[in-house]
């Protein structure tokens, strides 16, 4: 039910970024396949099975025969308001089960969705491996993005959480503490939720204020600081619509300071470049210089860094924004 | 996002039932307006405000200018899978707030929705008043239906819970214990949730098994029996698709026995007639004789009874099914 609008999270995004990286002289490395076992370090196995199987089940149930229904669209969502005090079971019907994992109506599953999301994970994990092999900065050109995916919920054009999986792999490879710094224009509620109660992974994010009506709407506020063992390990920097380089870079500086205070041994950067002024999906007004400055600040940490692509939807400027960030970061990174 | 399908919960439903009641010689009484204060006995005031205001806010936000968006369609739903351990705030944007109250994409809000839902409540409360005036059975021709609405969540083509509000009013008017018996083909998850932890209202329902893939999908199972002070005051009778009069009437008989055991002093019947064989919205195969038999069983309780219309979507048989139930019920009811 509703109106179909053109998506902005499209394959051309990857192409323009890859071309810009090549022109800038970056070494390009193919992603290496990684075992599915890595996924369960961050995600509920039921989410992975759902994403893998739901489109074929959707076809088998005959829904694809309706016009506009070739991709899985959830219609029923067991929210807290719906359940109240009732216990809930897993839905038997594929059209209802979708809404137990997917929390919006814009993150559809088509025939190639799982393969693409799974390949993006391989891309992020390959970047971690490059760090293990001695690189100081490795950038993962992931698509679809991932930072809106929680342990078992997907949405916001994301299916598997590439950045969270990279952070967990850095932990598994020996970094005692890892920081995830999220520069995407939208709060990375998935990564935040995954690490909210953990004291070994810091999550810091600068993003447009959800209180001003922006996705993910109900979380991403400054008073969310972690809970339980993770108390104090979440830091949100919500910014007003219209915030520019100066305000944004100050917030990035505060996040970078929190990484130092946390004594992180490695960093994952969720590099959304949709905070840029030209971007259609956010009202922030950051420039390429702003992204370059953020890169310098994170590079000055002199920590092994995996940079994971998140959002960014303005095709003409996407490549330049990513290159500006990496230029800033690499100029300050350790050179062995 | 998705495909628009014709609704079955349409105004003609009320017209065919009213005409059948008139032909059968039932006395027709106009609903009387009741104060909004009654709503807060069952619903969160925020739900009521949302329903009252959301369409004008939707217009003011400009969404109605998109084709197919003249009614409020939620797109974002803060499920448990989405939130994980994160606290959540109320969404600022109207298009996001909708999904904090509405839990599916088929229960839209147009310009007349709130007025219709509010009028249905008046209808149910008027039936309670008739009982207070000495009637033994009063039938409320409510539309839209209501039994899928929880304290603050609406869905399943329902906006305000007419039956729950009637039950609460019977309590307020002095009945120490009230039973709600739900004959609609779908589990009345809203009424169940509202009374799940209360020991003064029994909720009993016979419906098509949600485990067979039917709405409301995640609740309505036999092992939901109430909790806290309400332990033992919920009784679900999920039936296999294809169940006929014999199986259905046995389940109704068990529900009626539970009303006696509960020592209820008044009864609300959520009379959905979509369990009928012809109905497009359920796979149960109940006949008009089955509904007449259910009416007799409930009438034999000899308790003041408010019968509230819920679902039922096969226009040619709707009126006959409702009359059959009322015929059975009234034939056994106390005659003063």
> Cα–Cα distance between B200 and B229 in angstroms, integer?
9
- CB contact (8 A) between residue A85 and residue B221: no
- Report chain A residues whose CB lies below 8 A from the CB of B79: 77-80, 99-100, 103, 153
> Cα–Cα distance between A2 and A89 in angstroms, integer?
28
Percent of the residues in chain B that have a pLDDT greater than 70, as a whole number? 97
- Report chain A residues whose CB lies below 8 A from the CB of B226: none
Place of tokens 């219209």: A242
Rounded mean pLDDT of chain B? 94
> Cα–Cα distance between B92 and A214 in angstroms, integer?
8
- CB contact (8 A) between residue A213 and residue B96: yes
Place of tokens 């108390």: A231
- Report chain A residues whose CB lies below 8 A from the CB of B217: 76, 78, 91-93, 96
According to the 3-state scheme, what is the secondary structure of chain B?
A: CCCCCCCCCCCHHHHHHHHHHHHCCCCCCCCCCCCHHHHHHCCCHHHHHHHHHHHHHHHHCCHHHCCCCCCECCCECCEHHHHCCCCCCCCCCHHHHHHHHECECCCCECCCHHHHHHHHHHHHHHHHHHHHCCCCEEEECCCCCCCCCCCCCEECCECCCHHHHHHHHHHHCCCCCEEEEECCCCCCHHHHHHHCCCCCEEEEEEEECHHHCCCCCCCCCCCCCCCHHHCCCEEEEEECCCCEHHHHHHHHHHHHHHHHHHCCCEEEEEECCCCECCCCCCCCEECHHHHHHHHHHHHCCCCCEEEEECCCCCHHHHHHHHHHHHHHHHHHCCCC
- CB contact (8 A) between residue A83 and residue B194: no
What is the least distance, in Å, from the CA of A308 to any CA of chain B? Answer: 21
Phi-psi region of A136 (alpha: psi -120 to 50; beta: other; left: phi over 0): alpha
The pLDDT value recorded for residue B332 is 63
Tens-digit pLDDT profile for residues A143-161 = 999 999 999 999 999 999 9
The single-letter DSSP state of residue A18 is H
The pLDDT value recorded for residue B2 is 52
Residue of B nearest to A2 (CA): B1
Tens-digit pLDDT profile for residues A120-135 = 999 999 999 999 999 9
Q: Is the pLDDT of residue A244 over 90?
A: yes
Q: Is the pLDDT of residue B230 over 50?
A: yes
Q: Enumerate domains of chain A plus CATH numbers.
A: 12-39+117-329 (3.40.800.20), 50-101 (no CATH)
Q: Which of A55-69, A202-216, B254-268 has the lowest mean pLDDT?
A: A55-69
Q: What is the ipTM of this complex?
A: 0.92
Pick from A212, A246, A315, A78: which is nearest to B210 by CA?
A78
Q: Is the pLDDT of residue B334 over 60?
A: no
- CB contact (8 A) between residue A155 and residue B82: yes
Question: Residues A50, A148, A207, A314: which is the catalytic one?
Answer: A148
- Report chain B residues whose CB lies below 8 A from the CB of A68: 2-3
The pLDDT value recorded for residue A3 is 55
| A70 in Cβ contact with B190 (< 8 Å) | no
Phi, psi of B200 (to 5 degrees): -100, -5
Mutate to test the interface with A, among B5, B71, B84 (most CBs of A within 10 A): B84
- pTM, two decimals, is 0.94
- CB contact (8 A) between residue B81 and residue A103: yes
What is the least distance, in Å, from the CA of A75 to any CA of chain B? Answer: 5
Burial (0-12, 13-18, 19+ Cβ within 10 Å), B15: middle
- Report chain B residues whose CB lies below 8 A from the CB of A189: 82, 86
Tens-digit pLDDT profile for residues B283-322 = 999 999 999 999 999 999 999 999 999 999 999 999 999 9
Tens-digit pLDDT profile for residues A261-280 = 999 999 999 999 999 999 99
Sheet order of strands, B305-309 included? B137-140, B305-309, B266-271, B178-182, B201-208, B234-239
- Catalytic residue check, A55: no
Question: Residues B50, B148, B187, B207: which is the catalytic one?
Answer: B148
The pLDDT value recorded for residue A59 is 93
Tens-digit pLDDT profile for residues B245-275 = 999 999 999 999 999 999 999 999 999 999 9
- Report chain A residues whose CB lies below 8 A from the CB of B151: 81, 84
- Report chain A residues whose CB lies below 8 A from the CB of B189: 82, 86
What is the least distance, in Å, from the CA of A107 to any CA of chain B? Answer: 10
Sheet order of strands, A234-239 included? A137-140, A305-309, A266-271, A178-182, A201-208, A234-239
Q: Is the pLDDT of residue A302 over 50?
A: yes
Burial (0-12, 13-18, 19+ Cβ within 10 Å), B278: middle
- CB contact (8 A) between residue A77 and residue B75: no
What is the least distance, in Å, from the CA of A77 to any CA of chain B? Answer: 5
Tens-digit pLDDT profile for residues B77-113 = 999 999 999 999 999 999 899 999 999 999 999 999 9
Tens-digit pLDDT profile for residues B132-148 = 999 999 999 999 999 99
Q: H-helix or E-strand containing A293?
A: helix A288-299
Mean pLDDT within A222-242:
98
Mean pLDDT within A53-82:
90
Rounded mean pLDDT of chain A? 94
Q: Is the pLDDT of residue A334 over 60?
A: no
| A151 in Cβ contact with A42 (< 8 Å) | yes
Q: Is the pLDDT of residue A1 over 60?
A: no
Of B74, B84, B155, the CB nearest to A193: B84
What is the least distance, in Å, from the CA of A235 to any CA of chain B? Answer: 13
- CB contact (8 A) between residue B211 and residue A106: no
pLDDT band at B32 (very low <50, low <70, confident <90, very high): very high
pLDDT band at A332 (very low <50, low <70, confident <90, very high): low
- CB contact (8 A) between residue A79 and residue B77: yes
Mean pLDDT within B164-193:
98
pLDDT band at B4 (very low <50, low <70, confident <90, very high): low
- CB contact (8 A) between residue A79 and residue B99: yes
Mean pLDDT within B22-48:
95
| A125 in Cβ contact with A89 (< 8 Å) | no
pLDDT band at A309 (very low <50, low <70, confident <90, very high): very high
- CB contact (8 A) between residue A90 and residue B1: no
Q: Is the pLDDT of residue B1 over 60?
A: no
| A170 in Cβ contact with A128 (< 8 Å) | yes
The pLDDT value recorded for residue A336 is 37
pLDDT band at A188 (very low <50, low <70, confident <90, very high): very high
């Amino acid at each position: 039910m509703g109106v179909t609008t053109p998506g902005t999270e499209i394959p051309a995004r990857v192409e323009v970024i890859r071309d810009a990286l090549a022109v800038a002289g970056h070494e390009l490395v193919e992603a290496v396949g990684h075992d599915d076992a890595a996924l369960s370090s961050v995600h509920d196995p039921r989410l992975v099975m759902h994403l893998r199987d739901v489109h074929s089940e959707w076809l088998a149930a005959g829904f694809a025969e309706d016009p506009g229904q070739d991709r899985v669209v959830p219609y029923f969502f067991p929210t807290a308001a719906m359940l109240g005090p009732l216990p809930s079971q897993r839905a038997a019907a594929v059209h209802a089960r979708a809404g137990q994992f997917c929390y919006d109506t814009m993150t559809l599953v088509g025939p190639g969705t799982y393969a693409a999301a799974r390949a993006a994970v391989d891309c992020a994990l390959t970047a971690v491996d490059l760090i293990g092999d001695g690189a100081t900065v490795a950038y993962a050109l992931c698509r679809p993005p991932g930072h809106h995916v929680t342990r078992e919920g997907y949405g916001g054009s994301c299916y598997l959480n590439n950045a969270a999986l990279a952070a967990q792999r850095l932990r598994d490879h020996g970094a005692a503490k890892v920081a995830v710094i999220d520069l995407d224009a939208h709060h990375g509620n998935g990564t935040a939720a995954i690490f909210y109660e953990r004291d070994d992974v810091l999550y810091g994010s600068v993003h447009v204020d959800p209180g001003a009506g922006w996705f993910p709407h109900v979380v991403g506020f400054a008073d969310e600081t972690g809970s339980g063992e993770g108390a104090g390990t979440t830091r949100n920097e919500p910014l007003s619509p219209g915030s520019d380089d100066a305000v944004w870079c100050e917030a990035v500086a505060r996040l970078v300071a929190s990484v130092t205070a946390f004594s992180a041994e490695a960093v994952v950067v969720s590099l959304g470049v949709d905070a840029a002024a030209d971007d259609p999906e956010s009202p922030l007004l950051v420039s390429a210089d702003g992204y370059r400055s953020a890169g310098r600040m994170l590079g000055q940490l002199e920590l092994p860094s995996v940079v994971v692509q998140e959002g960014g939807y303005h095709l003409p400027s996407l490549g330049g924004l990513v290159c500006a960030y990496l230029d800033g970061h690499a100029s300050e990174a350790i050179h062995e």
